[in-house]
């Protein structure tokens, strides 16, 4: 008899736990502030409680063999209905799963997947549900939808300290994972923005972007082997440091977004906890000077852990700069040796390109004590951590992010075109808005820029307007040669652009591969590819 582990209740309408939700007073204060800013009364919609939601009645019933770990209550179904069920706040009809399964063992997972595949139910593998691209939103047009929530698979099973690797279950959330590695002196050091509300399995399935700004940017680089249940059986790659035997099986699981199977565990490369650190916030007289410096630093192959450039607008808003200067957050870290040398090399290159920083503003630590919380970088770091996401829920604001990657020689023109597209569409849709950009990751051959936009408030703005802005930006990214996503994944939202981006024969191959592994086409249908 396997016991179900109780997890802290999660918010059904915003990213995070119920305990993270803002109070009514906080929400009212925010709506009042917005009302005053725009000189109008902005209504605060009520927060739905799970038991009050009128959801479509479940259309299917789990058989006895799996009933014990399957749920059909409003909380479970609303929580799994999609990203930030704030949707419901805007009066939109939800398309919840009929059943939410929380298998506790691989054998239970086999049972529920067999039931889904045999009966042709859409099957949604679910980690933390933090997808910002509708990657785990149930699709329309199915008579039965089953979401498989992997939250019971939350253990670090094995640590190989010699090889620096660990066997980890897929459903573990970021903080739980770090808590289990910490006593052994290790860390995965994979901190996507969704860290607190996303899981290892989700990171692998979506090729998430992590802590390191250079070199080992995606989760891909830390995967030794993957264990995944497909409708045709278990997929488990051999655990070796590297191989040249045929196309890498791990690389077909990475980014598969649940269409081939459901990941249960992986051997992951882990890190010794860094004790030596060097941190600097370098300012530049312009965006252009900043990104030229970043190009030279990354091409010098010093591989800083942090190399994140903020454009003048973002440096102003989040770090208090004057709006003309760009800010570079530069950092090195090591478990083995002081980082003065690489830092000085990088600072030299930055200064050669107009970068400014006083020598005594470069912070070093050799005891594991982090030194970078002060100054401009610290201010930006705090702004990076998502907070108060719930405050704007239901107010009808238009805003969000797009992210991509582009080679250096095309970058300046690319940036110009994307900004132009944003300016135009924000004007049309919202009467204007704000836009800023930062590099989240940087490669020898180009940056991964991340644009954050916010439209001015107008009554009546909603999903359609949000989509219009996103579409215009995505069109511009595609046209100017970028990828539709560097680390947010494809999901259902990025499909039109993904279909343009991928080579057509690759689509043919992927479609055939999915059909062979998932004959009834039940695994996360609508994501990545259609029959």
Which of positions 404-463 make contact with a second copy (CB under 8 A)? 404-409, 441, 443-448
Nearer to a second copy, 88 or 253 (CB): 253
Neighbouring C-beta atoms of residue 278, cutoff 10 Å: 28
Residues within window 461-490 making contact with a second copy, judged by CB under 8 A: 481-490
CA distance 495 to 467: 13
Phi/psi of residue 440, nearest 5 degrees: -85, -35
> Site for a second copy (CB under 8 A): how many residues?
99
Q: How far is the CB of 4 from a second copy (least distance, A)?
A: 29
Query: Angle, to 10 degrees, between the axis of helix 287-299 and the axis of helix 340-352?
Result: 140
- Token pair listed for 499: 């279909």
- Token pair 């459901």 is at which residue? 262
Residues within window 95-124 making contact with a second copy, judged by CB under 8 A: none
Q: How far does CA 371 lie from the centroid of its chain?
A: 26
Residues within window 136-175 making contact with a second copy, judged by CB under 8 A: 160, 162-165
Q: How far is the CB of 531 from a second copy (least distance, A)?
A: 13
Task: Check residue 247 for interaction with a second copy (CB under 8 A).
Answer: yes
Nearer to a second copy, 154 or 220 (CB): 220
Residues within window 205-234 making contact with a second copy, judged by CB under 8 A: 206-209, 215, 217-218, 220, 224, 228, 230, 232-234
Nearer to a second copy, 2 or 240 (CB): 240
CA distance 500 to 474: 11
Residues contacting residue 454 through CB under 8 Å, at least 6 positions apart: 397, 398, 399, 433, 434, 435
Q: How far is the CB of 365 from a second copy (least distance, A)?
A: 17
Nearer to a second copy, 68 or 501 (CB): 501
- Token pair listed for 294: 């970043």
Nearer to a second copy, 226 or 327 (CB): 226
Nearer to a second copy, 207 or 325 (CB): 207
Among 235, 287, 380, 422, binds a second copy (CB under 8 A): 235
Q: 3-state SS of 421-466?
A: HHHHHHHHHHCCEEEEEEEEEEECCEEEEEEEEEECCCCCCCHHHH
Nearer to a second copy, 88 or 480 (CB): 480
Q: Which of 494, 502, 429, 438 is nearest to 468 (CA)?
A: 429
- Token pair 């019971």 is at which residue? 152
Residues within window 380-409 making contact with a second copy, judged by CB under 8 A: 404-409
Among 125, 201, 202, 255, binds a second copy (CB under 8 A): 255
Q: Which of 79, 134, 135, 130 is nearest to 102 (CA)?
A: 79
Q: Which of 266, 242, 225, 255 is nearest to 513 (CA)?
A: 255
Taking contact as CB under 8 A, which single stretch among the options 31-39, 124-132, 330-338, 423-431 is the one that binds a second copy?
Answer: 330-338
Q: How far is the CB of 296 from a second copy (least distance, A)?
A: 8
Pairing type for strands 145-149 and 99-101 reads parallel
Q: How far is the CB of 156 from a second copy (least distance, A)?
A: 16
CA distance 228 to 226: 6
Nearer to a second copy, 72 or 131 (CB): 131
Nearer to a second copy, 256 or 397 (CB): 256
Coil vs helix vs strand at 333: strand
Q: How far is the CB of 504 from a second copy (least distance, A)?
A: 7
CA distance 303 to 345: 11
Interface characters, 288-307, with a second copy (x: CB under 8 A): -------x---xxx-x----
Residues within window 339-368 making contact with a second copy, judged by CB under 8 A: 341, 345, 349
Interface characters, 21-60, with a second copy (x: CB under 8 A): ----------------------------------------
Interface characters, 490-509, with a second copy (x: CB under 8 A): x---x---x--xxxxxx-xx
Task: Check residue 237 for interaction with a second copy (CB under 8 A).
Answer: yes
Among 81, 517, 522, 523, binds a second copy (CB under 8 A): 517
Q: How far does CA 340 lie from the centroid of its chain?
A: 32
Helices (H) and strands (E) in the chain, counts: 16, 18
Nearer to a second copy, 318 or 339 (CB): 339
Task: Check residue 521 for interaction with a second copy (CB under 8 A).
Answer: no
- Token pair listed for 83: 């990203």
Q: How far is the CB of 97 from a second copy (least distance, A)?
A: 23
Continuous segment of H or E residues that includes residue 287:
helix 287-299
DSSP 8-state class, residue 221: G
- Token pair listed for 281: 């916030």
């Amino acid at each position: 008899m396997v016991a179900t582990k109780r997890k802290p209740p999660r918010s059904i309408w915003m990213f995070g736990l119920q305990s993270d939700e803002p109070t009514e007073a906080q929400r009212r204060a925010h709506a009042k502030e917005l009302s005053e800013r725009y000189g109008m009364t902005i209504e605060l919609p009520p927060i739905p409680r799970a038991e009050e939601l009128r959801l479509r009645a479940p259309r299917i019933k789990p058989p006895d063999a799996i009933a014990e770990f399957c749920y059909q209550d409003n909380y479970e179904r609303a929580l799994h209905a999609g990203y930030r069920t704030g949707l419901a706040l805007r009066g939109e009809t939800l398309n919840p799963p009929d059943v939410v399964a929380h298998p506790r063992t691989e054998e239970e997972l086999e049972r529920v997947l067999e039931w889904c595949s045999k009966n042709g139910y859409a099957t949604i593998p679910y980690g933390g549900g933090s997808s910002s691209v509708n990657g785990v939103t149930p699709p329309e047009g199915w008579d039965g939808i089953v979401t498989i929530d992997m939250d019971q698979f939350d253990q670090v099973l094995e640590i190989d300290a010699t090889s620096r690797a660990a066997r980890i279950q897929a459903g573990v959330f970021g903080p739980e994972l770090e808590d289990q590695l910490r006593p052994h002196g290790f860390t995965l050091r994979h901190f996507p923005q969704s860290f607190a509300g996303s899981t290892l399995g989700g990171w692998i399935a979506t090729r998430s972007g992590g802590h390191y700004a250079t070199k080992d940017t995606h989760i891909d680089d830390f995967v030794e082997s993957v264990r995944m249940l497909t409708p045709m059986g278990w997929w488990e790659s051999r655990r070796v440091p590297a191989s040249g035997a045929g196309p890498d099986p791990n690389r077909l699981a990475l980014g598969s977004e649940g269409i081939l199977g459901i990941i249960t565990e992986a051997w992951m490369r882990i890190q010794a906890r860094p004790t030596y650190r060097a941190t600097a916030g370098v300012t530049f007289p312009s965006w252009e000077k900043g990104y030229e410096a970043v190009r030279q630093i990354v091409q010098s192959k010093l591989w800083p852990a942090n190399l994140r450039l903020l454009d003048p607008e973002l440096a102003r808003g989040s770090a208090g700069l004057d709006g003309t200067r760009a800010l570079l957050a530069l950092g090195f870290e090591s478990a083995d040796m002081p980082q003065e040398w690489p830092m000085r090399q990088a600072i030299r290159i930055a200064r050669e390109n107009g970068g400014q920083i006083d020598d005594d503003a470069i912070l070093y630590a050799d005891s594991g004590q982090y030194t970078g919380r002060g100054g401009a970088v610290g201010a930006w770091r705090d702004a990076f951590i998502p907070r108060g996401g719930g405050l704007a829920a239901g107010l009808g604001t238009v805003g969000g992010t797009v992210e991509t990657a582009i080679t250096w020689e095309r970058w300046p023109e690319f940036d110009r075109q994307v900004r132009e597209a944003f300016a135009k569409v924000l004007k049309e849709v919202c009467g204007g808005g704000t836009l800023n950009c930062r590099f989240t990751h940087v490669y020898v051959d180009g940056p991964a820029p991340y644009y954050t936009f916010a439209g001015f408030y107008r009554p009546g703005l909603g999903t359609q307007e949000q989509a219009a802005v996103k579409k215009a930006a995505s069109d511009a990214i595609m046209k100017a040669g970028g990828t539709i996503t560097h680390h947010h994944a494809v999901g259902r939202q990025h499909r039109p652009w993904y279909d343009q981006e991928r080579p057509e024969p690759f689509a043919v191959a992927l479609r055939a591969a999915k059909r062979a592994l998932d004959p009834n086409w039940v695994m996360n249908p609508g994501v990545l590819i259609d029959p």
